Structures are given as structure tokens and as C-alpha cells.
A and B are shown apart, each in its own frame.
Chain A
Amino acid sequence: GAGVSQSPSNKVTEKGKDVELRCDPISGHTALYWYRQSLGQGLEFLIYFQGNSAPDKSGLPSDRFSAERTGGSVSTLTIQRTQQEDSAVYLCASSFSQTYNEQFFGPGTRLTVL
């Protein structure tokens, strides 16, 4: 079956522009996560959606970052007014439920801010 997909695979943008990164989780998975992987900070949690509950936004690094999940499926991570330190690989993962918690990862979006 299809795994987690992310688009675009790579994104190059200019400092100050807004970007949107998309994640399509595995069908039927109720939990969705965003992580960021950068050279300086390693792998860090950004945000977590579980069903219809309010998302856990505790990992978002600034108010320039936001995410939404429409219809309990596709998620979009938006970064406003991008900065060079936002350059990283953004990974999305999904899991079947909160109790069966193996997270399946997508291939990531490599964001480069010039």
C-alpha cells in the first residue's frame, strides 16, 4: 500500500517568502506528526495532530510556523517570512492510533532558504 508522501521533495526559496509543505499520511492513520531535521539541531518535533483533538504545537520554534490538517487527512506546514535558519529537511510521519504508535515516515521535504 501507499506510504506517507510529501511534496515538494525539494524547495528553494528566498528569505522573507512564505512556503507551504504538504503531507499525505497513510490512509486510516489518525495521528500525524511533523519533525524538522537540521545540521545544528538534529531531529526535533514540531507539531502533532491526533484525530479531532487540538494539535500539540509545543515544538513549533516561532509564530512564523503553523500547520493545519484538513478533514483528518492531508496536512500543510506553513512557514511565513522564511529565514536562513529555517533551512532543513521537514519530515512528516503518521501512525494508526495513539496506542499503536509506530510512526511511518515520509521521504521529507528539503527546504533551502537563500
Chain B
Amino acid sequence: AQTVTQSQPEMSVQEAETVTLSCTYDTSESDYYLFWYKQPPSRQMILVIRQEAYKQQNATENRFSVNFQKAAKSFSLKISDSQLGDAAMYFCAYMNEQGAQKLVFGQGTRLTINP
């Protein structure tokens, strides 16, 4: 079974600074997808960024980018120019390309933005 590990329960960063959230995963599959979701206090999970395992290029969405290291099974999220609205729980998630399209989540990292 696949597992996802986020080793940082909490992180904090000064507004406008850069922060990196860590995620590692374990799988025997070669084709899969990786995601970062944001969950603000409203509880609604919002997709931040996704990465297809077959793509070597790291995904980027505005201030959000990932460092995908397939051999190391590592998938970190970098948030640049942190804003107060970035404060939330961040979940790393894995999905197989084949079979059940269910997300396997990490434990989450609570990100605090200091003004």
C-alpha cells in the first residue's frame, strides 16, 4: 500500500519570505500523480498544485512550485512571497494512475504566516 509522510507538523514563515514544506511517499508504482492541497479553517480542500510522475519538469503555479525527486520519492512544496492568505493546513497526496482513483494523504503541515 502507498504511504505519504509529512514530517513537519507545523511551520511558520514571515510574510513575503519563502517556505518549503516537505513530503515523502512510498510506492512500487511507476506511474502516479502527486498533489498539494490547502485546507483553510473553512475546511474546504483546495488544490494548490499537481505533478504527473512521468513529467521530469517540476510543476509551477504562480508563487507555488514543487521539487519532485522521483528516485528519492520526495515531493516538496515551495511557497514564494508568502501572504497572510496562505495560512492553512497543507496536505500532500498521492494517487495511482491505474486502478482506484483515491487520494492517499499525508498527515498535514500547519503553516502560519507571521506579519
B33 CB contact (under 8 Å) in A91, A101, A106: A101
Interface residues in B99-114 (C-beta closer than 8 Å to A):
100-108
Number of interface residues of A (CB under 8 A): 26
A107 at the B interface (CB under 8 A): yes
Contacts of B44 in A (CB 8 A): 105-108
B interface secondary structure, majority:
loop
Minimum Cβ distance to chain B for residue A9 (Å): 9
A-B contact pairs, 12 of them (CB 8 A): A31-B101, A42-B106, A42-B108, A43-B103, A43-B105, A45-B102, A45-B103, A48-B100, A56-B100, A91-B43, A91-B45, A104-B47
Residues of B69-106 contacting chain A, CB below 8 A: 91, 95, 100-106
Please list the residues of chain B having a beta carbon within 8 angstroms of any beta carbon in chain A: 33, 37, 42-47, 50, 91, 95, 100-108
Q: How far is the CA of A44 from the CA of B107 in the complex (A)?
A: 10
Q: Which residues of A have CB within 8 Å of B108?
A: 42-43
A45 to B96, CA, bound (A): 13
Q: How far is the CB of A14 from chain B (nearest CB, A)?
A: 24
List 13 extra interface pairs beyond A42-B107, A42-B108, A44-B105, CB under 8 A: A31-B101, A33-B101, A35-B103, A43-B108, A45-B102, A48-B102, A89-B43, A91-B43, A101-B101, A102-B47, A103-B47, A104-B47, A110-B43
CB closest chain-B residue, reference A33: B102
User: Is A21 in the interface zone, CB < 8 Å from B?
Assistant: no
**Least CB separation from A50: chain B residue:** B101
7 A-B pairs with the lowest CB-CB distances in the bound complex, closest first: A105-B45, A43-B105, A45-B102, A108-B43, A56-B100, A107-B44, A42-B107
Interfacial residues, chain A to chain B (CB-CB below 8 A): 31, 33, 35, 42-45, 48, 50, 56, 58-59, 89, 91, 93, 95, 98, 101-108, 110
Check B102 against A102 for contact (C-beta < 8 Å): no
